[in-house]
Amino acid sequence: MTLHRYIVALGSNQRHPRHGNPSAILWAALHEVGRRKCRIDAVSPTIRSRPIGPSQRVYCNGAALVSTDLEPRALLDELQAVETLFGRRRQGQRWRSRTLDLDIVMWSGGCWADENLMIPHPEFRKRDFVLGPAARIASDWRDPITGLTVQQLHRRLAKGLTRSSPPPR
């Protein structure tokens, strides 16, 4: 049995009738992931971020370091089952408000690609709301594409960020 490690990005920008606000949803979701053949090794502090796309609601984001014997596709299936349990629907508009978003960002095995999953996540290098939390728990992980660490990627992104609008409070 091979133990795989993953960086999983977490996001929510809607309340849930049972779990409450987005931050509480992320913690409840991590608890559920931990019940599914996964061990949660580290969790970043949560941050608030502006939405991408048409959604108007501020997101609560974080990252978790997860260990499991599940291969990437099997972990994706488990994460999507947790999203569904929390009310996520996959049809309709992309980047809309959602109760829960769980994305595999990186994997200890390097790269992976099939019709439903690409690791590393193709957009993670451009997203401060992913790199910031990931750098708090896995700063020395190396991007298999660029060879840079998560911390280096985060610093590079931070240097290029425009300061035209302040972060949400």
- Structure-token pair, residue 58: 């501020």
What angle (nearest 5°) sits at the alpha carbon of residue 35, between those of residues 30 and 39? 70
**Could you read off the pLDDT of 104-130 as tens digits, one per residue?**
999 999 999 999 999 999 999 999 999
Percent of the chain scoring above 90 in pLDDT: 69
**CA 39 to each of CA 30, 71, 134, 136: distance values in angstroms, whole numbers, following the listed order:** 10, 14, 17, 18
4-160 is classed CATH 3.40.1440.10: no
The predicted structure's pLDDT at residue 88: 72
What are the two backbone dihedrals, phi and then psi, of residue 49, each rounded to the nearest 5 degrees?
Answer: -145, 155
Report the share of the chain in percent with pLDDT over 70. Answer: 86
Enumerate the active-site residues. Answer: 88, 98, 101, 103
* pLDDT in the model for residue 14: 81
Q: Residue 112 contacts by C-beta under 8 Å, 6 or more apart in sequence?
A: 72, 73, 118, 119
Mean of all residue pLDDT scores within the chain? 87
